[in-house]
Amino acid sequence: MLRLPPRATQCRSSAASDVYTRQAAHGTWIGAFAPIRDNDGQVVALLQVDTPLDRLLEESNRHTTQQALFALLLLVVLVCAMNLASHRLTRALTLLAQAAKRFGHGDFKTKITAHGATSEIEELAGALETARQEISEQVDAQQLTEAQLAEALAKAKAATEVKSQFLANMSHELRTPLNAIIGFSEIISNQMFGPVGQTKYVDYATDIRSSGAHLLSIINDILDLAKIEAGHASVQEQVEFEIGPAISSAVRMVAPLAERRGVDLAVLSCPEPVRLIGVERMIRQVLVNVMSNAVKFTEEGGSVTVVTERRAGGSFRISVMDTGIGMSSEEVKIALTPFGQADNMLTRKHEGTGLGLPLANAMMELHGGRLLVKSKPGRGTTIVLLFPAARVSVASPEETVAARASS
Ligand SMILES: Nc1ncnc2c1ncn2[C@@H]1O[C@H](COP(=O)(O)OP(=O)(O)OP(=O)(O)O)[C@@H](O)[C@H]1O
Ligand SMILES: [Mg+2]
């Protein structure tokens, strides 16, 4: 800022303003003058200002330094403010990233806060915190349900364990005297140690034997099913056996019943002999159970056909088709549950305990196979027994020739 030096004002006669420098004893002076005019435009005075150049430069330098210092200070304050803001932002984002990481690891317990961050980030943190609380509550509820389910499952397993243990003990206790009853009644009915005086006694002994055998088969079914349900049954005794003879033997067992009921029974086998890997006793029982049902639930004049076929991919299928009374889909569900019988107790005409089909189903599953029921009321039933390729072994051509020659 220039100030007017006290002795710098003097009038000179000049029409134009100008700037000049002059050398004086104390150094260089810089000055400027300008004319002062009256209303008519006549120069009446000359305004002149001058000052030592050193002083002017000093003044100007001080001013520049002040401005530079001020700018520097402003810059420092700005950098500090930006640093602070970026630190707060980074910290808040790090907190949010850590929270997301915890979420990923299934930890919904730690609270999410981003105090002091920008309002947007605080809002984001707030939304995340609300979501965390909801998820945490859901996780707690789910954990509680899981714990309750695990407890219920453990109790059910323990109960099943007790049940199968009880059945195993009971069936052992029942089977021993039952075998004696069956054996001795057979001796009496066959009069092995000499004639029985009264023929009535022979008839009674025969009835005792057949009732005992029936009871034994029910006990065996119950035990087998309980064992499979408790996971105690296995296919460890599995062997490779030809399925043809097993089917023939099942047919022979149900043939008398078919004949009595006037039901036609036929088998259509696939050309090549097929061997299955499994527990032969179980597969035979599955066949008998399914075929005896087909005959039992088919009216006189109807037919039961057993068809075997190898499937593409190597699996093997046995279909037992009947033209009997059939079942609705609801009845099929009932039929597959232990002791479930489609026709109710009052109207039922057929004997049985309702164990045959669920047992056959459980035995098929134990072999990795499936038992499928296709049925319609009044239109008959087809039970499909499906064995996976892993359980099927096809006989070699030489064996096929030998099998054909011997048949
Ligand atoms: N081929 C079929 N046609 C119609 N109904 C059937 C057939 N097979 C099974 N059912 C129905 O399913 C029920 C259950 O069959 P399942 O073999 O388990 O018992 P069951 O034959 O009554 O008695 P058992 O224990 O002596 O076999 C039968 O009572 C019957 O109602
Ligand atoms: Mg049955």
Tens digits of per-residue pLDDT, 174-202? 888 999 999 999 999 999 999 988 889 99
Could you tell me if 191 and 319 lie in one domain? Answer: no
104 within domain boundaries: no
Q: Which atom of ligand 1 is nearest to the CA of 221?
A: 25
CB distance 297 to ligand 1 below 6 Å: yes
Of 229, 255, 281, the residue that ends a domain is 229
58 within domain boundaries: no
Could you tell me if 251 and 204 lie in one domain? Answer: no
Q: Are strands 274-278 and 239-242 parallel, antiparallel or unpaired?
A: antiparallel
CB distance 357 to ligand 1 below 6 Å: yes
13 within domain boundaries: yes
Q: What is the reported pLDDT for 99?
A: 82
CB atoms within 10 A of CB 3: 11
46 pLDDT more than 50 = yes
182 within domain boundaries: yes
What is the mean predicted confidence (pLDDT) over 60-64?
Answer: 90
The residues that bridge with 76 in the sheet, in sequence order, are none
**Torsion on CA atoms 107, 108, 113, 119, rounded to nearest 10:** 110
Query: What is the span of the domain harbouring residue 34?
Result: 6-53
CB distance 373 to ligand 1 below 6 Å: no
Of 180, 203, 229, the residue that ends a domain is 229
Return the CATH number at 255. Answer: 3.30.565.10
Could you tell me if 284 and 351 lie in one domain? Answer: yes
71 pLDDT more than 80 = yes
CA 58 – CA 81 distance, rounded (Å): 34
Could you tell me if 255 and 317 lie in one domain? Answer: yes
Closest CA to 342 of 327, 321, 322, 362: 327
126 within domain boundaries: no
Q: What is the CA radius of gyration of the chain?
A: 53
What percent of the chain is modeled with pLDDT above 70?
A: 92
CB distance 382 to ligand 1 below 6 Å: no
Q: What is the reported pLDDT for 167?
A: 79
Could you tell me if 265 and 396 lie in one domain? Answer: yes
Could you tell me if 317 and 341 lie in one domain? Answer: yes
More confident residue, 33 or 267: 267
Could you tell me if 330 and 387 lie in one domain? Answer: yes
87 within domain boundaries: no
Could you tell me if 338 and 380 lie in one domain? Answer: yes
Contact 225, 163 (CB under 8 A): no
Describe the strand order of the beta sheet including 392-394 as a list of residue ranges: 239-242, 274-278, 392-394
CA 290 – CA 58 distance, rounded (Å): 119
Q: Probe ligand 1: pick from 288, 319, 328, 357, max atoms within 8 Å of CB?
A: 357
Of 204, 229, 254, the residue that ends a domain is 229
Please, which pLDDT band fits residue 89 given cuts at 50, 70 and 90? confident
334 pLDDT more than 80 = yes
Distance 404 CA to ligand 1 centre (A): 35
151 pLDDT more than 90 = yes
Q: How far is CA 142 from the centre of its chain?
A: 15
Could you tell me if 222 and 367 lie in one domain? Answer: no
Could you tell me if 205 and 262 lie in one domain? Answer: no
Q: What is the reported pLDDT for 87?
A: 84
Tens digits of per-residue pLDDT, 247-278? 999 999 999 999 999 999 999 988 888 999 99
CB distance 337 to ligand 1 below 6 Å: no
Tens digits of per-residue pLDDT, 341-356? 876 655 567 778 899 9
What does the DSSP 8-state code read for residue 272? S
| Element housing 268 (H / E) | strand 264-268
User: Quick one: CA dihedral 94, 96, 101, 102, positive or negative?
Assistant: positive
Please, which pLDDT band fits residue 90 given cuts at 50, 70 and 90? confident
Q: Which atom of ligand 1 is nearest to the CA of 298?
A: 3
Could you tell me if 173 and 225 lie in one domain? Answer: yes
| Element housing 214 (H / E) | helix 199-229
5 pLDDT more than 60 = no
Contact 20, 53 (CB under 8 A): no
361 within domain boundaries: yes
Distance 91 CA to ligand 2 centre (A): 73
What is the overall mean pLDDT for the chain?
A: 87
CA 151 – CA 305 distance, rounded (Å): 48
Tens digits of per-residue pLDDT, 96-121? 888 888 888 888 888 887 777 778 88
CA 316 – CA 223 distance, rounded (Å): 28
Instruction: State how many domains the chain has.
Output: 3
Q: Which atom of ligand 1 is nearest to the CA of 343?
A: 31
pTM of the entire predicted model:
0.63
CB distance 280 to ligand 1 below 6 Å: no
CB distance 254 to ligand 1 below 6 Å: no
Q: What is the reported pLDDT for 166?
A: 84
211 pLDDT more than 90 = yes
CB distance 286 to ligand 1 below 6 Å: no
Instruction: Give the range with max mean pLDDT: 339-343, 374-378, 393-397.
Output: 374-378
What percent of the chain is modeled with pLDDT above 90?
A: 48
196 within domain boundaries: yes
Could you tell me if 297 and 402 lie in one domain? Answer: yes
